[in-house]
Amino acid sequence: MDSKFAFAFLLFYFLMSSHSVISQTSGKVNIGESLVTMDQNLSWLSPSKDFAFGFRQLNDNDDFFLLAIWYYKIPDGDIVCYAKGGNPAQRGSKVELTADRGLVLKDPQGTEIWQSNFGTGRVAYGVMNDTGNFVLVNINSESPALWESFSHPTDTLLPTQAMKIEGILSSRKSVTNFSQGRFQFRLLSDGNAVLNPINLPSNYTYDA
């Protein structure tokens, strides 16, 4: 092969492949992009690949997937946030990023089973941030995020994630069952942070 041609080809190849690496890992999710659960843990990654947002299979070979955020680089990395009160979705479920309603989760029959509620506004795009926060960016850039996973903590707070007054972290049933468990960590409006058990299913809170 002519060496100039080979050099140009290699340069071209290098530019193309580095470009595709960058676009795959920008953390940005465009309107209309979707993930459908199949046999894999499909996800959108943060730029550093530390965090993934998507479907995580609960047990090997089973048909249930949690819409969640987890540590991606660590094998079996901990799930740090999950949607739908920890209720898993069936194989064939789909999550899509829409402009008017944000993230919309549908079951295999196409019935909507969860969405990221944010009132009014339009989403420009989504970002899986390196901090572990999945952010829906407002099309009106003067305003803050329309919705972010950091405002909906489940059982974990990540570094830089603030706990808001009247915020609740809730334990789960077990390692593989993400339904609400019997223990809570709450930041009360009087400024006290408390750990308390609750009664299920009434949610009555016992003394701290």
Ligand X SMILES: *[C@@H]1O[C@H](CO)[C@@H](O)[C@H](O)[C@H]1NC(C)=O
Residues that bind ligand X (CB under 6 A): 39-41, 56-57, 60, 64, 76, 85, 88, 127, 129-131, 135, 137, 173, 177, 179-180, 201-203
Nearer Cβ to ligand X (116/180): 180
Nearer Cβ to ligand X (106/172): 172
Nearer Cβ to ligand X (1/80): 80
User: Do residues 68 and 74 touch, judged by C-beta distance below 8 A?
Assistant: no
Sheet holding 28-29, edge to edge: 28-29, 123-128, 134-138, 147-148
User: Do residues 63 and 91 touch, judged by C-beta distance below 8 A?
Assistant: yes
User: Do residues 93 and 103 touch, judged by C-beta distance below 8 A?
Assistant: no
Question: CB of 127: closest distance to ligand X in angstroms?
Answer: 4
Nearer Cβ to ligand X (3/174): 174
55: nearest Cα among 46, 66, 44, 63 = 66
Residue linked to tokens 């930041």: 187
Question: CB of 89: closest distance to ligand X in angstroms?
Answer: 11
Question: CB of 195: closest distance to ligand X in angstroms?
Answer: 17
DSSP 158: -
Nearer Cβ to ligand X (106/127): 127
3-state percent breakdown (helix, strand, coil) of the chain, nearest 5 = 15, 35, 50
Question: CB of 15: closest distance to ligand X in angstroms?
Answer: 27
Question: CB of 102: closest distance to ligand X in angstroms?
Answer: 14
